[in-house]
Chains A and B, each alone.
Chain A
């Protein structure tokens, strides 16, 4: 039962990302959108935490949100568009949106 965790809040203003990383299952995946993509900011502790996740955890981000913010993303990140977002939502057993 793999879960796709969807985050959309900045990891610099609240604890969603850090809590999510702690309870992430080994087959789960993370999808960043909105201000949550700031977690990819080079040199930040959040970026480091993402890079240190086990390889089995897939990392996705919404392409337009990453491009808009001019972020340089890590090699393990897969960029997706909205159709890709929908496809991922169907691919995983469930989606946990951190509202």
Chain B
């Protein structure tokens, strides 16, 4: 039985390589059939904004890549309710079907996985 891995993505999409690296780990894990979860925390929740226009910064479209997660078998997708609320995003539509979790549910989520990596 493969070990399950929770990837915690907490960088904004345009601040550096962190957001893309977290996504690449999740996609690679999914491609190899590992049980993968992905949690958006802190500034990572900005990745879910559906109003992004990445071409403006001449960067690859991270939000389009995010949509591929279910195709890679990564369907356990979560976001911190608190991180959304802190940023005034609680009512914003998300570009991805993610489950909103409060702090204690996140703690329980981390507990359920064999391994965790935070980027």
Contact = CB atoms under 8 A, between A and B. Distances in A.
A89 interface: no
Given A23-B110, A25-B111, A99 B42 contact: no
A15 B82 CA distance: 13
Given A15-B42, A23-B103, A97 B111 contact: no
Interface in A34-84: none
Contact of A3 (B10, B18, B111): B111
A96 B118 contact: yes
Interface residues of B, number: 21
Interface of B: 8, 10, 18, 41-42, 82-83, 103, 106-108, 110-119
Interface of A: 1, 3, 15-16, 19, 22-25, 94-99
Given A23-B41, A25-B110, A99-B118, 15 more contacts: A3-B116, A15-B42, A19-B83, A22-B103, A22-B106, A23-B103, A25-B107, A25-B108, A94-B113, A94-B115, A94-B116, A96-B118, A97-B117, A98-B118, A99-B117
Nearest to B104: A23
Given A15-B42, A19-B10, A19-B41, A3 B118 contact: no
Contacts of A25: 107-108, 110-111
Contacts of A1: 111-112
A19 B42 contact: yes
A97 B43 CA distance: 17
Contact of A24 (B8, B107, B114, B115): B107
